[in-house]
Amino acid sequence: MSWDKHGRLHDLVFWPEREEVDKYVYTPGLHGLELAKALVDGKVLGMKCPDGKVYVPPKTFCPDFTEGQLVEIKGPWRLLHYTVVYEDLYGNRLDKSVVVGIIKPDDADNGMIHIVNVDPSKVVIGMELKPAFKPKDQRKGTITDIEYFEPA
Partner 1 sequence: MGSGRVAVIGVGSYGFRPSTPEVSFQGMMFESSQRAYADANVDPRRDVDVFVDCQEDMWEGIAIADEFAPEPIGGALRPTFTVAGDGLQGVAHAYMLIKSGLANVVAVEAHGKPSEIKTLQDIYYFAMDPLHVRPLPTGNPFFIAGLDAQAFISRTGATREHLAIVAVKNRNNGLRNERAPYASRVRLDEVLSAPYSVYPMSRYEIAGFSDASITVVLASEDAARKFTDRVVWLDGVGYSTEVGSGSLEWHEWGRMPSMRNAALTAYRLAGVSNPEKDISLAEVEDRFSFMELLSVEELLLAPDGEAHRYLENGDFDFNGRLPVNPSGGSLSMGIPLEATGLGRFLEAVMQLRGEAGAHQVKGAKRAVVASWRGVPSYTSVVSVLSSDIEG
Partner 2 sequence: MEVVSNLFVKDRVAIVGAGLTTFMRRALETPRELAWEAARQALDQAGLTLKDIDCVVIGSAPDTFDGVHLKGEYLADGSGAINKPMTRVYVGGGTGVFVPVSAWWHVASGLCRTVLAVGEEKMSPAHPHPQYVFRYIWDPILHRPLELNLIWIFAMEMRRYMAKCGAKKEDIALVSVKNKRNALDNPAAQVAANITVDDVLKSELLVWPVNELDISPVSDGAAALVIASENVARQVTDSPVWIDGVGFTLDNQHWENRELAFPRYLNYAARMAYRMAGIERPWKEIDVAEPYDPFDYKELHHIEGLMLARPCEAWKLLKEGYFERDGELPTSPSGGLLGVGNPIAAAGVMKVAELFWQLRYEAGKRQVKKPVHKAVANAWGDLMQAGTVIVLSN
Partner 3 sequence: MSERKGEVKLPGTKLSAKEMYSLLGLVESAPQAKYEFSAGPSLSKFLQGLKEGKILGKRCPRCGRIYVPPRDYCEYCHVPLTNWVEVPDTGVVHTAVVSYISTKRERLEKPEVVGVIRLDVPGYKEDSYEFAGLFHRLCIDPEEAKKDSAVGMKVKARWKPKEQRTGSILDIECFEPVR
Give contact residues for partner 3 (rule: CB under 8 A). Answer: 1-6, 11-28, 30, 32-33, 35-37, 39-40, 140-142
d(CA 65, CA 107): 22
d(CA 20, CA 111): 33
Among 3, 10, 22, 89, binds partner 1 (CB under 8 A): 89
H or E element in which residue 130 lies = strand 128-133
CB nearer partner 1, residue 42 or residue 63: 63
Q: Does 88 bind partner 1 (CB under 8 A)?
A: yes
H or E element in which residue 87 lies = strand 77-87
Q: Does 111 bind partner 1 (CB under 8 A)?
A: yes
Residue 131's nearest CA partner among 60, 69, 41, 52 is: 41
Binding mask 27-66 for partner 2 (x = CB under 8 A): xxxx-xx-------------------------xxx-xxx-
Number of residues that bind partner 2 (CB under 8 A): 22
Number of residues that bind partner 1 (CB under 8 A): 50
d(CA 116, CA 102): 9
